[in-house]
Amino acid sequence: MGLLIKRTTAVTLNDQHAVLEDIDIRLDGTRIRELGRNLPAHPGDETIDGSSLVALPAFFNAHCHAPMTFERGWAEDLPLDRWFNERIWVAESALTEEDVYWGAALAACEMIRSGCAGFNDHYFYMDRVAEVVEASGMKATLTWCQFGIGEDKEVGTNLEGALAFASRWRGRANGRIRTVLGPHSPYVCPPAFLKEIAQLAKQHGFGLHIHLAESSQQVVNSLKAHDRTPTELLNDCGVFDVPCVVAHALYLDDRDVEILAKRQVSVAHCPITYMKLAMGVNDLTRLQTAGINIGIGTDGPGSNNDMDMKEAVRITPLLQKFHFNNPEALPGDIPLRLACAGSSRALGFAESGSLEVGKSADIALFDFSGPHLQPCHDLVANLVHVAKGADVRHLIVDGKLIMRDRVILTLDEEKIKSEAGRRAKAMVSKNLRVVREYQG
Ligand SMILES: [Zn+2]
């Protein structure tokens, strides 16, 4: 029993940049089995009328902290140091496991609604996020964030616990859940800890997911303390000896770029956070030219403030064009490719990212009937610059409909909204305390 999408327009994002019109897509199990005209329905197949829809490979969110929906609107108009020290880490001192579940569930609803099949999550109490992933039908690469500055500074578990989490959930939910290890950053984690966690990752066959070079001050401090840039430090600590995703990487010199390219590190680019916290911009064309894999992420809702991947896809080329005074930067379907193939590869779901026979059946179907999507001189431009997350009508992950006609089939959205709203208010009403300090 499969799914048959009839008479749709498919933006395949294949190597030929093919856009197929009036095409049927047959899904069987977790894969795309056939693309063609007038495909017959097999007995038991569910059919979707795709005639006013555009099929796109579903997005993957390359870096986020999903449960931080609880901190949406809680840390406004602040620079990074005050954002951490006065608001974010303070609120998280009152975080409970149950909060993580409802916060992640709320984020999952938002991501599903904007056509996102999977996300790369870096947070605490990750068993609860894994439960959300399992129930929602989404895919995710999950890590329990570790600071490495003393067990009393960790949230919920120590390194041993983070490793146990990663082992416990590896490959669960029919392979929809992947796990990695997640040291917070080179500016929080001491080098000895970075070496230890990198060694553990290597030994147990896990990748790593870490923040990198978010401010010029972090680079100055690293050079002063370690005589190395943050990128060189991670390289020397063995962090890039396993598949690694670095979030942000805004401040890189030529040698850093060379290291990231050579070690095949993926960069997760989260432009809305950079704009909102005035952190700076990285030159994606420079990274692409060096051959670095780039994915697009929303980052956490404490800094974005939403989880709409479609918006992040639009902002990505706009920021590059504006900042580098170059209207030709990141042209055509590149932003879509970064958010689909680039992100899914970063997460380890490399079989996603294009609509081709044999690929994962992870598909977002956009409703193109709205006035903002007319006329359609350039379908890809309309997808990148006009379509909204809310235009996604159906979302299919691993061959299963998880949203049909804008109704999420796998999660109780009404309950999640009310429970998350109530709990987020209660969390910040508790006795909040300072748990650790950001010092650049
Ligand atoms: Zn982050």
Q: What is the pLDDT of residues 160-194, one digit of tens each?
A: 999 999 999 999 999 999 999 999 999 999 999 99
User: What is the model's pLDDT at position 352?
Assistant: 98
pLDDT digits (tens, 9 = 90+) for 346-384: 999 999 999 999 999 999 999 999 999 999 999 999 999
pLDDT band of residue 334 (cuts 50, 70, 90) is: very high
Q: Is 281 within 8 Å of 322 (Cβ atoms)?
A: no
Ligand 1 geometric centre to CA of 247 (Å): 6
Ligand 1 geometric centre to CA of 71 (Å): 13
Q: Output the pTM of the full model.
A: 0.96
User: What is the model's pLDDT at position 91?
Assistant: 86
pLDDT digits (tens, 9 = 90+) for 275-331: 999 999 999 999 999 999 999 999 998 888 999 999 999 999 999 999 999 999 999
Answer positive or negative: Cα dihedral of 94, 96, 99, 101.
positive
Ligand 1 geometric centre to CA of 393 (Å): 29
Within 8 A by CB and 6+ apart from 374, the residues are none
Ligand 1 is an ion; residues with CB less than 5 A from it: 247
pLDDT digits (tens, 9 = 90+) for 219-256: 999 999 999 999 999 999 999 999 999 999 999 999 99
Ligand 1 geometric centre to CA of 376 (Å): 36
- Residue 145: which of 216, 224, 88, 106 has the closest Cα? 88
Quote the percentage of the chain above a pLDDT of 90: 89
